Structure formats: C-alpha cells, structure tokens
Structure 1
C-alpha cells in the first residue's frame, strides 16, 4: 500500500470515469497538501447526552435517545467540552474507487488542543464522513463550521477490493449527515443471540 501524493489525488479527481475519485467541493487549493486532503467541518451535530439508561452500546434502547441534534450556520462557532462525544460530518462529499482506501486523522494544530479524531474509510465508500469529535483536553475547544478539521490520507489498495457501497454488511452508505452508531445491526450479534437462545 502506498500513500497518494497531493498531485496524484488532484489528478484522480479530474478523471472522468464511472469509478473515479470524488472529493467535493474543494473550496480552496490549500486543502490539497503534499500527501493529504484537508476536509472541513459541516453544520450539523449530534451531541451525546446523559439519559436515565446507564449504558450505551449493544442495548435494546434506540441509540437516538442518547444524542441531541443541534445545527450551526456556516462560519458559526461550536464549543466542544472536555470528555464530550459529538458526531459531526465533513462538508465534502467523498466517493472512493475500489482500489483506494483512506484514513482520517485530526489536523495536527487541533490535536495539540486535545481534539481527537481518527477513522478508516473502506474502498468504494460514498457519502459525507461522520466524524467522532472527542475532546481529550482539560479546556473547551472552540471550532468553527466550515473550518479545515481533518486530513484525509489516501492509499492505493494492491488488489481491487469489494466495494463498500455494494457490501451487504455495510451500514453507512451515501450518508449526508452525521450518522449514529449502527452497532446493534451487526450480523454477528444476531448470530450470538440465536446461540444464546439455543443453549
């Protein structure tokens, strides 16, 4: 697996074919770095809130009850508090070809403030990226919608992979807003439930 340079990324985005690389809109040439693309913070947020239920995860209660939606205008501030989990999304829509995978990491200037974001993007993914914002610092962090937040690093996959879009196990396809965890839809959990019932 080799990292794609900024020039390679730009070239792939200009190709006009069915399975080409799409990252749009690119608002500023400065978003393309030597070996990554900066992605911007969008305007919709899902903020984790405490509920009467003591646990979150593989539970019967709908995951929506643990989050509260809030919106900001482009250019408006959003405050991320210590030990807070917030789901946000990228301003950019992304579509990866089947021979490219990606890793998302926080821009280093924001990592130094305590912001922590990391994720993998499977070959064939299409949609906006849901970002898990987590403040590991002691102080609140002020973010601004539309700002460059994360870096997308792209890698060539040596053999074309199964497309994420067409994989029946894929839960996050063609999203255009932050999407809550779909952990309760994992097929292996259903298998485990049946094993438990049979014992």
Structure 2
C-alpha cells in the first residue's frame, strides 16, 4: 500500500478514533502485506496490525474504522493478555507434570508466535464488538458499516476462497448474530442506513 495511503489512515486513526478513547493505552498502527490475507489483530501493548488486503476490501473509511475499533476493544478488555496468561499457565502445568525444564525456555521463544496465532473466544469477539459499536455511535459512525464489512468476510467464507481467507475467519468467527447486533445499534441510533443502499 502506498505510503501516502498509510499516512492518511494512520492520521485518521490517531486524530479521530483515538480521540474518543478514555482508557490510558498507547496505541500504534502498523500495516502489513501478508500474502493477500485480509486480517487485523491487536497485541496487549496496544499495537494494532492491519493488512493491506483488508483495507483493499473496504469500500470506505467507515468500514476500516469498524475493524480498528473492534481491535481497540480487544486491547481495552485485555483479551490478548488473557490469552497469553492462559497459554502460559497451560505450558507451565505441562512442564510441571512432564518434568521438562527446557519447556520454559521454549515457551518464552514461542510467545510472539502465540500472540500472532491466538484465536479469541466468541465471548471475547462479542465483547470487542460491543465496544466497537458503542464507540462508533459516540463518533457518529453508523454501525451498519461493521455489518457490511463483516458480511464480506462471511461471503468469502461461503465461496471457493475459504482456504485463502481462512486465517481471518478463524480469528473472527462468522456469525449472523454479530451482524444483526450491529444492525440493532444502527436502527437504534441512526435514522437512515445509507451504507445498505
């Protein structure tokens, strides 16, 4: 993605989306080209990574905003940290029973990989969704854009490109209920839904 496009999205992220955040986190937005994979994820530190392909799939800035606010929700609710702790506890428990002290060293080496490959539970996804919807309403962004963006991923899931888009879908489980929830917010707080037309 061109540097000018990255700069515009990053400035919007900092000036608009972060302006509505009351939590004391330090966010940093990164762009990556991961072999045409549409994906976005957040690390416990507040680093948010979004791929070029996901941005390419978005029809407008509002759809990108819905994804970024969802990822901010993961940071605010410390989902990444919870996953990290959960994985560490399991590894330590295995080490205690197996008696293999070298497993601790392997765990430390594997932490970055764990963070990148961890899959949030459906409850974490729902919590991040709710956070995103509330922030969108606060910023005057119709949550229908979340439903529209998510709908594209559901459509990809049902097509013959499942293998190509599987990574995104595995970390963001498709669910008509999630899209319906976004529509409920849209109907409640916005009189019209031009993004549906």
Q: Quick one: higher RCO (CA 8 Å, sep 6+), 1 or 2?
A: 1
TM-score range relative to shorter protein: under 0.3
TM-score (norm 2): 0.27
TM-score (norm 1): 0.27
Which structure shows the higher helix fraction? 2
